[in-house]
Amino acid sequence: MVRSDHRAAQQIRDVRRRLAVQGPPRTRDRGRDFETVTLPERDCDLLRDLLVSERAETVGLAYASSALAIGEALVIVGLPHPRHVIIDPFQEGVWSNAGWDLLCAAGLDPIATLIPEPSSIALPQLVAGGLTAEAAFVDGSHRFHEVFVDLYFLRTIVRPGGLVVIDDDWTPSVRTAVHYYEQNLGWTAIPDAFAGGTRMPIGGDPRAGSVPRCRALRLPDPSFEPPFEEFCPF
Ligand SMILES: C[S@@+](CC[C@H](N)C(=O)[O-])C[C@H]1O[C@@H](n2cnc3c(N)ncnc32)[C@H](O)[C@@H]1O
């Protein structure tokens, strides 16, 4: 079990800081790969602060900046049996386990489970196994249909009134998927959660307005199934 004390949190903070300043021990052979892929440190701080009052499930590990921030939140909260489920089919093959090794260096591996499957396979299995979570962070495949499916299953996993945080809400595919859940299933954005974080132009178009790259959504409590006749185009 992770020590729910100051030293455990400090160990995670040290790994996070080193990662932000020096980058990961290895990256893919592409220019500025870490900066392009990973969640910026400031957004990770905001994610941690938000989750200190919630708990976790992650889609997409890559360089682990966000997973480390989630782990830090879990340690700060200090529940007796914290659990962090991480899904990434490419952690070994594409990322050479850089993210997982950083989680180990931070001492988070005892509470973390890495599922090396696409989320569309892993999430329904977790649902079938009865997993429940207080919160989820989604930064996996950014294809519309895969984000849509992630949110579909997380709707069952995350408890009513729990939290789903999405990265890259500025991309049309992610925004459109999220919009369905807001328009039709009562998910409500927490407006200021990432107000101090990174902003991005919608669709990458500098002429378009900018939005925070991360978006936090509260699930309705109680959960409900809308009649199909009440479908709202999104
Ligand atoms: C943008 S990166 C995540 C960056 C991470 N949040 C960070 O702070 O370093 C996207 C991640 O999603 C993973 N991924 C891609 N397709 C996926 C899928 N179908 N299911 C789950 N994860 C997927 C990639 O391997 C990668 O680890």
Taking CA atoms only, the protein residue closest to ligand 1 atom 27 is 62
Taking CA atoms only, the protein residue closest to ligand 1 atom 15 is 141
Most informative mutation of 27, 28, 137, 141 for ligand 1 (most atoms within 8 A of CB): 141
Structural domain containing residue 161: 6-230
Q: Confirm whether 51 is domain-assigned.
A: yes
Ligand 1 site, residue 57, Cβ cutoff 6 A: no
Angle CA 184–146–139, to nearest 5? 95
Q: Confirm whether 222 is domain-assigned.
A: yes
- For CA atoms 50, 53, 59, 61, the dihedral sign is positive
Centre of ligand 1 from the C-alpha of residue 227, in Å: 33
Domains held by the chain: number: 1
CATH code of residue 84: 3.40.50.150
Helix extents (H) in 164-225: 172-185
Ligand 1 site, residue 140, Cβ cutoff 6 A: yes
Question: At which residue do the structure tokens 């954005």 appear?
Answer: 189
What pLDDT band is residue 6 in, cutting at 50, 70 and 90?
Answer: confident
Q: What is the pLDDT of residues 203-233, one digit of tens each?
A: 999 899 999 999 999 999 999 999 999 999 9
Q: Is 170 helix (H, G, I), strand (E, B) or coil?
A: coil
Q: Is 150 helix (H, G, I), strand (E, B) or coil?
A: helix
Instruction: Work out the end-to-end distance of the chain between its first and last CA atoms, rounded to an integer number of angstroms.
Output: 44
Query: What is the mean pLDDT of the segment spanning 100-121?
Result: 97
Q: Confirm whether 132 is domain-assigned.
A: yes
User: What pLDDT is recorded for position 1?
Assistant: 44
Angle CA 212–162–74, to nearest 5? 80
User: What pLDDT is recorded for position 148?
Assistant: 98
Q: Confirm whether 108 is domain-assigned.
A: yes
Centre of ligand 1 from the C-alpha of residue 147, in Å: 11
The tokens for 82 are: 């914290």
Q: Confirm whether 165 is domain-assigned.
A: yes
What pLDDT band is residue 127 in, cutting at 50, 70 and 90?
Answer: very high
CA distances (Å), origin 115, targets 57, 112, 213: 11, 10, 26
Q: Confirm whether 1 is domain-assigned.
A: no
Q: What is the pLDDT of residues 39-56, one digit of tens each?
A: 999 999 999 999 997 766
